[in-house]
Structure 1
């Protein structure tokens, strides 16, 4: 859990506040109800222990936590991917125990996509922070009522995202139940969400564990440099954890490009 916590604390689009201690703590909106819930996650051996409180349905909240922390995925086959791919073996050794942490919901992933469009991550994070209330991104109904003083067409697109969330078009359970390619196409029906944004919503919003982000240029560049073969071909060895492998390679690349030492296992 320590590795996953460090990853999430550095995840700019939905960063976890840095705290001392071993607990992972967060407050979020329960998807569908859009009421607040708080969670504390600790580790007991190989088991993650969740302690939840709040206004929302805590059973739904627990399922949501497991989803955005990738705890709902059976990871017993993940080490076998390393045996098939030495690059992934390096990544697993560098980040032991990492399970990719996603957005709290596809709705928040979609909102982030709009806020960061033509703005970059740093400005997108500032815009998102300006909308948050008591540390939580507003519910779709509140976003529709808000006076959105944002550049360009961002207000229009954010309202389209809010309406889609209220209509169930960005529901995590529904998106996870679909073939990832079909899910990405479905998300593109929301105004303002193109192919890149739709992949983010499905792979990191619904946190689908086995899909390939074809529109992520930094991943494509990393695969070309490391393997000299196309991503679609290389990623076959990563099944059924293609999203996990993609995230691990992105983390390795970002650390290397920043000149940071890559930890060894």
Structure 2
């Protein structure tokens, strides 16, 4: 893995808290983000607004927002509920990967034929991230060795019962419990005792400050991954998921993602998936955008035909 982090690149966001606007440098499509299913969030094809309800970065409160894109270079965030609207906008910017100047990514697509094809397949897509390292780690515990759809439904029920609910533009969304709320859950229908105890472990780590998202963004990705593996139930694959899909790094090359390896093999006309070594060699020319590139591979799916 490379140590290039989101904070090492020029920030792109200028946040106007009064107007609820976030400026964007480089190409970005909110519609593509909405149509990118990931974790407990399902893809919503054709939608033009994004409804979000989540635990704030302080991990002691909830935020609810309605996100729209009035112009190519601007995102509008209507804050439905937040104790600190400015922090809420900053968290939204990170979750949508618009806290980064993406012009270099756009330029890579003009110089690299494969990256250009991936970008054309999902124009304006940037990696949508988990709300926070806490929620990503909790999802890793919930979804491990279980069907994602079933665990997403369980997460929603758990959030409704023990988190917070918000009416956002006519739809009700349930935000995941804060760590303090989660440790008070003694049992829940459909949630095995072992998973509940592991969720309590995640919550305690968050309460102790060990899952602070902004702090983890400053830690070397390899060290962050090793640290997260100290949580019971989190192995190498899921610690990598947290680091790559919650912290907003641009140049961490994910390992062992079968879907990405299979998609790349098909795009390159191979009889099967490429292996990790071939991906790593190919990705050398994608620095410092290897994270974004591998997400683009995964996202392209059936939209991009092979040669």
State the TM-score, normalizing by the size of structure 1.
0.87
Distance 1:216 1:46 in 2: 32
Structure 1 equivalent of residue 152 of structure 2: 125
Q: Is it true that 1:194 corresponds to 2:235 in the alignment?
A: yes
Cα deviation for residue 59 of structure 1 reads 2.0
- Secondary structure at the counterpart of residue 37 of structure 1: strand
1:103-131 deviations in Å (ceiling 9; x for gaps) = 11111111111111111212221221221
Q: Which moved more, 1:81-90 or 1:117-126?
A: 81-90
Does structure 2 retain, via aligned residues, the 8 Å contact 1:68–1:104?
yes
CA distance in 1, matches of 2:60, 2:43: 21
User: How many residue pairs were aligned?
Assistant: 257
The question of whether the paired residues in 2 share the 8 Å contact of 1:24 and 1:42 is answered with: yes
- Please say if residues 210 and 244 of structure 1, whose CA atoms lie closer than 8 Å, have aligned partners that are also in contact: yes
Query: 2:66–2:77: 8 Å Cα contact kept in structure 1?
Result: yes
Asked if residue 143 in structure 1 is aligned to residue 182 in structure 2, the reply is: yes
Structure 1 regions of 5+ residues with no counterpart? none
The partner residue of 2:198 within 157, 164, 177 is 157
| 1:74 counterpart residue number | 101
Determine if the alignment matches structure 1 residue 23 to structure 2 residue 49: yes
Residue 57 of structure 1 aligns with which residue? 84
Larger helix share, 1 or 2? 1
Distance, in Å, in 2 between the alignment partners of 1:222 and 1:152 is 36
Q: Which moved more, 1:116-125 or 1:223-232?
A: 223-232
**Cα distance per residue 1:17-52 (max 9 Å; x no partner):** 859863333222211143122223232341223332
The structure whose residues are more often strand, as a share, is: 2
For structure 2, the 5+ residue unaligned runs are 1-26, 166-173, 269-273
Distance 1:94 1:17 in 2: 16
CA contact (8 A) 1:219 1:246 kept: yes
TM-score, with structure 2 as normaliser:
0.76
Against the structure 1 CA distance between its residues 17 and 90, is the aligned structure 2 distance closer, same or farther, given a 3 Å change threshold?
A: closer
Distance 1:215 1:155, change over 3 A: same
Any conservation in 1 of the 2:95–2:129 contact (CA below 8 Å)? yes
C-alpha spacing 1:251/1:196, structure 2 compared with 1 (3 Å): same
2:154 aligned with 1:113:
no
Partners in 1 of 2:288 and 2:143 — Cα distance?
Answer: 30
Which of 24, 31, 35 aligns to 1:5? It is 31
CA distance in 1, matches of 2:45, 2:294: 28
Q: Is the 8 A contact 1:38 1:52 kept in 2?
A: yes
- In the alignment, what sits opposite 2:169? none
Separation of aligned partners in 2, 1:17 and 1:215 = 23
3-state SS of 1:14 partner = coil
Cα gap change, 1:45/1:250 in structure 2, threshold over 3 Å: closer, same or farther? Answer: closer
> 1:59-106, CA deviations, whole angstroms, 9 ceiling, x for partnerless residues?
221111111110101101012222443221111011111111111111
Q: Which runs of 4+ in 1 moved over 6 A?
A: none
How far apart in 1 are the matches of 2:43 and 2:63?
16
Which of the numbers 298, 301, 305 marks the counterpart of 1:250?
298
Alignment pair present for 1:34 and 2:60: yes
